[in-house]
Amino acid sequence: MAVREYEYEPINGLPENLPEGESIVWQGAPRWTALANRVFQVRTLALYFAALIGIHVVYKLMDGASSSHVWGGVSWQLTLATVSLGLLSGAAWLYARSTVYTLTNKRLVLRSGVATPMMVNLPLEKLESAGLRLCSDGTGDMLFTPTSDTKLYYMLLWPHVRLLGFRKIQPLFRGIPDAQNVARLLAETVRSEGMPALDGDLSAMEKVQATHHESFASGQPVAAG
C-alpha cells in the first residue's frame, strides 16, 4: 500500500497517469449526506437536540413559566444546535467534495483530504476479502479487508475506514450511490485478472438503516454476478 501527498492530478482522483496495462474500471464519490449521518452523526444529534429542547420546554411550562421566559431559555439551545449541526454538515460536505474513489483493473485508489489531498493506493492482490452493505438512504458501503502484511493508518484513511476498527484497519468506499454495480465490477475485475476470489459477500444484501452501525455480512467467496 502507498500513501502520498500531491498537488497535481493529470487524471481526476489520481496523482499520475496510469501505467501501461492499467485502466480505470470505475470512479465515484461518497454522497455527503451519507457521511453526515453515518460518520458525523448529524441525524442522531438532531434528534438529541430536539428531545433536549422539547423536555426543557415541557418542564418550564409545567413549572408555570411564561412563554417569553421559555423562549429565552430555548433560544440559546436552538443556536447551539444550529451551529453544531451546521458545522458537522459542512465538514461532511467538504470531505465528500474532496474524495474520489477509483477502481482500476490493478488496484483501489482513495483520494481524500480537505486541506491537503492524500492518496491511498491498495493493490487488488493485497485484498483478502470485501463486503457490501446497502443502506436505506439509497447508498451503500463497500468494506475491504487487506492481507495481514499490508500496513494501513487509521487517521490517514478516516473517515473512509471502518469506525473504531483500530486493531484491524479496513478501508471503505463509503456512501456510494451505485454500490451494487461497483461490487459487481470489482468481482468481475478480480476474475478477469486471474486473481483468487475474494472472501466476503458482495451480493445484494437486505437494506439496513443508514446509521453508524458498521457490521457487514460475511459469506462465500465472491464471484462475478
Tell me, yes or no, whether 89 and 113 share the same domain. Answer: no
Tell me, yes or no, whether 105 and 197 share the same domain. Answer: yes
Tell me, yes or no, whether 71 and 154 share the same domain. Answer: no
The fraction of the chain above a pLDDT of 90, given in percent, is 40
pLDDT tens digits for range 95-129? 999 999 999 999 999 998 887 778 888 999 988 88
Q: Give a yes or no: residue 219 inside a domain.
A: no
Q: 60 or 82: whose pLDDT is higher?
A: 82
Tell me, yes or no, whether 195 and 110 share the same domain. Answer: yes
Q: Give a yes or no: residue 213 inside a domain.
A: no
Tell me, yes or no, whether 197 and 104 share the same domain. Answer: yes
C-alpha grid cell, residue 219: 459469506
Residues 162-184, mean pLDDT to the nearest whole number: 88
Tell me, yes or no, whether 178 and 134 share the same domain. Answer: yes
Q: Which residue in the block uniquely carries the three cell numbers 495481514?
A: 148
| Overall number of domains in the chain | 2
Q: Give a yes or no: residue 17 inside a domain.
A: no
DSSP state of 126: G
Residues 6+ apart with CB under 8 A from 223: 187, 191, 197
Tally of helices (H runs) and strands (E runs) in the chain? 5, 9
Q: Is residue 1 pLDDT above 70, yes or no? A: no
Q: List the CATH number of the domain containing 109.
A: 2.30.29
Local confidence band at 6 (pLDDT 50, 70, 90 cut-offs): low
Residues 192-208, mean pLDDT to the nearest whole number: 60
Rounded to an integer, what distance in angstroms lies between the CA atom of residue 151 and that of residue 176? 25
Q: Is residue 211 pLDDT above 90, yes or no? A: no
Q: Which residue in the block uniquely carries the three cell numbers 449521518?
A: 37
Tell me, yes or no, whether 73 and 108 share the same domain. Answer: no
Tell me, yes or no, whether 90 and 114 share the same domain. Answer: no
pLDDT tens digits for range 21-65? 999 999 999 999 999 999 999 999 999 999 998 888 887 777 777
Q: Give a yes or no: residue 218 inside a domain.
A: no
85: domain range?
Answer: 36-95
Q: Where a domain ends, among 95, 111, 140?
A: 95
Residues 187-195, mean pLDDT to the nearest whole number: 84
Q: What pLDDT does 206 receive?
A: 38
Q: Give a yes or no: residue 220 inside a domain.
A: no
CB 30 within 8 A of CB 175: yes
Q: 195 or 7: whose pLDDT is higher?
A: 195
Task: Please provide the DSSP assignment of 140-207 as one string.
Answer: EEEEEEE-TT----HHHHTTSB-TT--SS--BEEEEETTHHHHHHHHHHHHHHTTPPPPEEE-S-PPP
Rg (C-alpha) for the chain, rounded Å, is: 21
The answer to whether the pTM exceeds 0.95 is: no
Tell me, yes or no, whether 62 and 129 share the same domain. Answer: no
Q: Exposed, middle or buried, 39 (CB in 10 Å: 0-12/13-18/19+)?
A: buried
Q: Where a domain ends, among 53, 75, 95?
A: 95
Tell me, yes or no, whether 114 and 180 share the same domain. Answer: yes
Q: What pLDDT does 200 receive?
A: 61
